[in-house]
Structure 1
Amino acid sequence: MDIARFIDHTLLKPDATEEMIENLCNEAKKYNFYAVCINPYYVKLAKNILRNSNVKIATVIGFPLGANTGKIKALEAEESIKDGADELDMVINIAALKNKDYDKVKEDIEEVVKKAKGNALVKVIIETCLLTEDEKVRACNLSLEAGANFVKTSTGFNGKGATVEDIRLIKSVVGDKMKIKASGGIRDYETAIKMIEAGANRIGASSSVKIVQDSIK
């Protein structure tokens, strides 16, 4: 298994500098990671560095709280695609989900999906650590109904990240109709493999180089 092709090499810290993003992109080219995952501010820079590679550019929408409106998320998505993003990792409206305002949650996702259609993949971050099991199931179904491509576990900014149990639960809901991205707290090869075996199609990690190096020991 080429573990690198499962990985979105990630740097979303608010204090990330241009030099750090350049290093991230160069590592992605060196190790042939599937994508880099960066904040929207750096999409143009990453596009320039990665222009002659097959590394995709993923950026985040409504990150990390998911609390802005669907229209704002749609504008953010539109601008990110224009700047060169291939994939959009958007955070659901967690408060709306908690309030059982399911139409609002779905509309929120649909706003981004409409902007992305034909231009970018949409991964919906449901922030599993903040949800009950029933809410996780509901979030997965709403993401599926809204036409998103992936369900993603976590932002990595709100406590506990991906768990094998959550990946199995998500897989049981979406089956082969959507893909799954496990993110948050995946720092070694063994954990990454467990996520993939449980059903993850993509791994979001900042410890990507270590994961690949562990795989060839």
Structure 2
Amino acid sequence: MNIKKYLDSTYLKTADQAGLDKEGNIKVVKGFVQEAIDEHFKLIMIRPNMVSLVRQMITDATSDLQIGTVIDFPDGQATIDVKLVEAKKAIQDGADDLDFVCNYEAFKNGNIDLVKEEILKGTQLGIENNKVVKWIIEVAALNDKQIIQLTALIKNVVISNFKEANFASVFVKSSTGFYKTENNLPNGATIPVISLMLENATPLSVKAAGGVRTYGEAVEMINLGVNRIGTSGAKAIADGESTNSGY
């Protein structure tokens, strides 16, 4: 199996989170990008403020590596307008994939109309600009029923408002990797959670993000039906090793 085509190599730490100064963090980002180019991964996932820098690196290397970035990360509680402004800037800077953090707290509080509106407008922006859109639902913040309901809500908004040809460009994604759980419980993709998402996302695709740390786990996710895997240990996984990365 060519597992590399499924891997979104991911580095989403700010300088403060990494315990580095600004230049030190940029150096880490550049290292991840160069590795992704050398290893022929599908995509590099980075913060929005790094997109233009990474686009230039990829252009200079004449690589077909794609760029993904996160929108309203990691909390997802900004207004729809703020989300769209950030996404438009990422598109201008050269992003290929827009991974929006869904306002899962609004969903949990019953504000379904707000969530529907942001899914509609965010997806529309992406599709109009020929981008892939992923909606992060933050599974660790939800119970099983909520995972099913929010996944189905995203699916239903998309199939009700967009053409079938667009469905392949929209994903439901499990996690930010930054959610703090109690008692060290998993905060990312697990087999039970991904199974629920797959059962309720079709015909949309699912991205398993966070918690996939070995080649075997990655293969298991792919065999379940996921089309993308987000990990900060992409090379280790591709090499058949395990990674102790936090995401």
TM-score tier (shorter)? over 0.9
Q: Find the counterpart in structure 2 of residue 163 from structure 1.
A: 190
Q: What aligned pairs does 1:34-183 form with structure 2 within 5 A after superposition?
A: 34-51=42-59, 52-119=62-129, 120-147=131-158, 149-158=170-179, 159=181, 160-175=187-202, 177-183=203-209
Letter in 2 for 1:36: I
Structure 1, gaps ≥5 residues long: none
CA distance in 2, matches of 1:205, 1:124: 17
2:218 paired residue among 192, 206, 214: 192
Do 1:71 and 1:111's aligned partners in 2 also have CA atoms closer than 8 Å? no
TM-score by length of 2: 0.83
**Cα deviation per residue 1:176-207 (whole Å; 9 max; x = unaligned)?**
x1111001121211111111112211000001
Identity of aligned residues (%): 37
Query: Does the CA contact (< 8 Å) of 1:168 and 1:198 recur in 2?
Result: yes
One-letter identity of the residue aligned with 1:14: T
Moved over 2 A (4+): 145-148
* Aligned-residue RMSD, C-alpha: 1.3
More divergent stretch after superposition (65-74 vs 110-119): 110-119
Which residue in 2 is equivalent to 1:204?
230
The normalised TM-score by structure 1 is: 0.95
Count the aligned residue pairs: 214
Residue ranges of structure 2 left out of the alignment (5+ in a row): 19-24, 159-168, 182-186, 242-247
Cα offset for 1:114? 2.2
Letter in 2 for 1:2: N
3-state SS in 1 of match to 2:230: strand
Which deviates more, 68-77 or 140-149?
140-149
1:33 to 37, 41, 56: 41
